[in-house]
Amino acid sequence: MNIERIGLVMEPNGDPLEVEGTLNPASARTRDGKLLLYPRVVTTGNISRVGIAELASAADRDFGVRRDGYALEPETPYELRERPGFGCEDPRVTYVDVIGKYVMAYTGYGVEGPRIAVAISDDARSWQRLGMVRFVGPGMAAGDDKDAAFFPATVLSPAGVESIAFYHRPMFHISAVDDGASIDFVQRLPFVDRESIRIAYVPLEPVLADINALLDVAESALVLSPDEHWGSTKIGGGTPPVRIDEGWVSVFHGVDVLESTGIRPKFRYSAGLVMHDLREPHKVIYRSPEPILAPESERERNGIVDNVVFPTAIDPRPDLGPRVFDIFYGMADYSIGAARLRL
């Protein structure tokens, strides 16, 4: 495995709507092969929108970005609130074969706090909201949740049901209110009880009858927790998974505490690789023992939030080889970088 940085992709361009960052993008290939990014763009007061940008090329580090407006702007109660810090955050886009649509999972940050929301598109440019995810399975409860990303093909749930699946990361409410204040609490917990990556399962049959059933989660399985090596404080989904011969591959993020003294703790966000079984993705085949990408460059170490690489998009590059992928990631919560992963 090899990964190399291939350059800066986007940063705020002087538009007041981007003054606090252009970061954490989703990506998709249109039906005619164009590469689109969906950056989270942040204006004064930490108010977020999901933009649309078309990239001309990623072959020679000249990405040729053209901004094409917005996929989503905050409109609904689950995207709006009176005090600062709301909107449509950190999208991930997947083309889901079985329904023939692009599916965007994103964080709607509104009156109730961070919640997973879903929008769909036929052309990757015009988006229709479905609403917030509903955890309707036995024993499930709605709560603060982030980092959702759909699988592109159906899988079997732990109960053996053919399902559409997505990553998610249930949160401690104190983390949503003040991430720094939660550190003492989190560090007293066993690793398995800290914020972890789960896979949610939506039964396929109801979705084929009514697309709105895509919001109804029947099962959720814990698949990856923090450990002592890296990502010890919390881990969460990053890019949507992509298929290779051995299984589903995704680049996820992990958070470690660099310094816990002072007014606010200092964190490090790094990225690693996870591989799941193709039919039963709750079975993890591989997890990278060390980060494959960690904050090193000036743009990754200094920004709105220092020491952050946050992977959110993956683009297969068959033109460069059968196991080559471009990874798009947020740098220090301010700009977007790209790295090329070769397996």
Give the pLDDT of the chain (343 residues) as one tens digit per residue: 999 999 999 999 999 999 999 999 999 999 999 999 999 999 999 999 999 999 986 555 678 899 999 999 999 999 999 999 999 999 999 999 999 999 999 999 999 999 999 999 999 999 999 999 999 988 888 899 999 999 999 999 999 999 999 999 999 877 666 666 678 788 889 999 999 999 999 999 999 999 999 999 999 999 999 999 999 999 999 999 999 999 999 999 999 999 876 667 899 999 999 999 999 999 999 999 999 999 999 999 999 999 999 999 999 999 999 999 999 999 999 999 999 999 9
Closest by CA to 324, choosing from 26, 58, 35, 28, is 58
Burial (CB count within 10 angstroms: exposed 0-12, middle 13-18, buried 19+), residue 35: buried
Per DSSP, the residues of 40-92 read EEEETTTEEEEEEEEES-SSSS---EEEEEEEE-S-STTT--SSSSEEEEEEE
Q: What's the rounded Cα separation, in Å, for the pair 203 and 106?
A: 20
CATH number of the structural domain 2-342: 2.115.10.20
DSSP-derived 3-state class of residue 215: helix
- Quick one: pLDDT at residue 190? 93
Contact 210, 193 (CB under 8 A): no
DSSP-derived 3-state class of residue 224: strand
